[in-house]
Structures are given as structure tokens and as C-alpha cells.
Copies of this chain bind each other. A is one copy, B any other.
Amino acid sequence: MGLAKTEIFTDEQNAIAAFAKAFAHPARVSILQHLYKINSCVCGDLVEEIGLAQPTISQHLKELKNLGLIKGSVEGTSVCYCIDTENWTAMKNLMSQFLDQDLTNKQDCC
């Protein structure tokens, strides 16, 4: 069908999946890494930096903004984007909880 049956899963499971989906495309990974590296707003140069067409980048930015991972503000003719640190930290805590499930007393049995 193409549509996930979100109603049979917990809010946490759906939230983890939603954040993971944000990272499930290398262009969005690249955008986020660039925003980190620059450590400030990025105005416009993402298109040249990434190498995809402007509408494509704009679409990826929109998805990241809808999830709250980045913020954008208009600066004259251009728009500046940066990481939303508060939401990023919240996302990171959720993902870490999932990734760091205790492995100490776990052993492969297959």
C-alpha cells in the first residue's frame, strides 16, 4: 500500500521512525553536516555546496524544518538556516535511548 500503519505502534516508535526518516537521505545528512560545520546561519550556498537543483534542496529543507530540526529566518532577499539546538537535543536523546539499549549482557545466539 505504501502507507505505514502508524496506528498500531507507540508514539515513541513513530517518533523514532519520523526522525530517522529525516536522516534517511544523504542530501539531508549533508545539509545537516554543513549547518554544523559552518556553525552559523547558512544563506543560500547550500545549492552549490550539495549539488542538487534549487527546488530539490528547498524541498529537503522544508522537511527538516517541518520536523523542527532546523530553523529558517528571512534576511533580506535570502533565507538563513541553522540547527534548532533545542529540538536537536531532544531528538538526540530519543534516538540515543533507542540506539544505546543495553548490549552488555547481550550475546549473539544465532
Extra contacts besides A17-B23, A85-B103 (15): CB < 8 Å: A9-B29, A13-B26, A13-B33, A16-B26, A20-B24, A32-B98, A36-B101, A36-B106, A40-B109, A71-B110, A72-B110, A82-B108, A83-B103, A92-B99, A96-B96
| Contact of A17 with B25 at beta-carbon distance under 8 Å, contacts A101-B36, A110-B71, A110-B72 already known | yes
What residues of chain A have their CB less than 8 Å away from a CB belonging to chain B?
A: 4-6, 8-10, 13-14, 16-17, 20-30, 32-33, 36, 39-41, 50-52, 71-73, 80-86, 88-89, 91-92, 95-96, 98-103, 105-110
Q: How many copies does the complex hold?
A: 2
Are A26 and B36 touching (Cβ within 8 A)?
no
